[in-house]
Chains A and B, each alone.
Chain A
Amino acid sequence: MGFHLNIGKCWRFSDDEQPPYPTIELNVSSADRNAAISPKVDTGFNGSLAIGIEVVKKLRLTPAGTVLVRTAAGNREVPVYALNLSQPDLGISYATLAIGTERSLVGRKILNDRTWLLDCKEERFCIIAQTEMS
């Protein structure tokens, strides 16, 4: 018995830096604004979402607090923002807190419990649906 891997929804790598990096498209919204964003997939980030200043401005978010985070350079305090996050292909839609960072990142909390294809050759990041082969 084995597994058959079906490639589901894929997102293109972003090439605004070299080598290109994987992204996922997410919908984020505040009380009166919404935006589609393509944060960098960062497996070194154990949270769900980090947003850059351009997203904060677009959604006109004000900080809902400050929290201490651990970075490669040591611990530092960052603002947190309350927003709604949804991604239909992942079946998620909920209110969450996003930390404010220099650039938008999607972390392991969103990647967890799913199988992914990191296809650096074809420059795509895809959801994998496993089906058991009889």
Chain B
Amino acid sequence: MRNVTIMIKPFFEAVRAFKSGPFKSTDLVKRLGYASGYVRNFLSQATRQGLLVPESRAGKREKTFRANPRVVRDIVLRGGKDKEELLNAMGLRSKYFGEYVALDGFEIIDHDQDLYRLGERVFSNREAPGRIVVTNVGVPKKIITVEV
């Protein structure tokens, strides 16, 4: 768990820079300015923790990585600062601020200012995959109020 905390920040930076696309260790050095030793350590730990998925491409010597889409659900369900950071890194804040979004990994499958309208659309389909996760981006314009 301690390692997750250590590796989550560069993970968010990688998501911010490459979204769900592939990247190599040299990309992290060039785009994010990390030292190559730090990058090696990050890639190995983040892969072990399931934050990244390694991919091997035929004919390419250097390994590529992608952010693991399964992590999105875990982080959203955990909530708090990590959720905010992830949604920021995914670029959702500028586009969907004040709304609710339904995510399937890094893919935005639907969004709405009204949580209930969104829920009805997304979950009335019995085939809706269990990996879909719903959350708010910033403070919802139509926030739910419970006076308890």
Using CB atoms and an 8 Å cutoff, list the residues of chain A in contact with chain B. Answer: 31, 42, 44-48, 50, 62-72, 75, 77, 79-80, 82, 94-97, 99, 101-102, 105, 107, 109
Contact = CB atoms under 8 A, between A and B. Distances in A.
Given A66-B135, A109-B116, 9 more contacts: A46-B145, A62-B130, A67-B115, A68-B140, A69-B144, A80-B134, A97-B116, A99-B144, A105-B146
Contacts of B79: 66, 77
B7 interface: no
B144 A75 contact: no
B140 to A, nearest CB: 6
Q: Is the interface of A mostly helix, strand, loop or mixed?
A: strand
A102 B100 CA distance: 23
A93 B130 CA distance: 21
Contacts, number: 102
A45 to B, nearest CB: 5
Contacts of A72: 147-148
Nearest to A109: B116
A63 B74 CA distance: 10
Nearest to B143: A70
A2 B124 CA distance: 41
